[in-house]
Amino acid sequence: MNTGSPCPRCETVSGRGPHLREGVVIRTAVERYSTVTGGRAIAKAVSPAYLTRKGGTEYE
C-alpha cells in the first residue's frame, strides 16, 4: 500500500533512537457527521511497517 508518504517506512528520531510512526489520521476538509460511527467522520491509516514490526505489543 502506497500512502504517498515521503518516508517509505515512516521512521522518525525521538530521543536516542529511531521509531516507526503508527500511521496518520485522515479528516475531511470540512468536518462532517458520520451516521455509521455516531460521531465525527475521521479515519486512521496504520502503517504496514508498524503493524509488522518486530517486538510489537499489540494483539500478541
pLDDT tens profile 20-39? 788 889 999 999 998 998 99
Largest CA distance in the chain: 44
The most confident of the ranges 7-11, 23-27, 56-60 is 23-27
Residue 37 lies inside a defined structural domain of this protein: yes
- The number of domains in the chain is 1
Residue 4 lies inside a defined structural domain of this protein: no
Domain that holds residue 27: 11-51
Specify the pLDDT at position 33. Answer: 92
Residue 40 lies inside a defined structural domain of this protein: yes
- Looking at residue 31, its amino acid is E
Residue 29 lies inside a defined structural domain of this protein: yes
Least Cα distance to 42 among 54, 50, 33 occurs for 33
What are the residues facing 44 on neighbouring strands?
Answer: 25
d(C-alpha 42, C-alpha 22), whole Å = 16
Specify the pLDDT at position 27. Answer: 92
Q: Does 30 or 47 have the greater pLDDT score?
A: 30
pTM confidence score: 0.53
Q: Which three cell numbers stand for residue 19?
A: 521509531
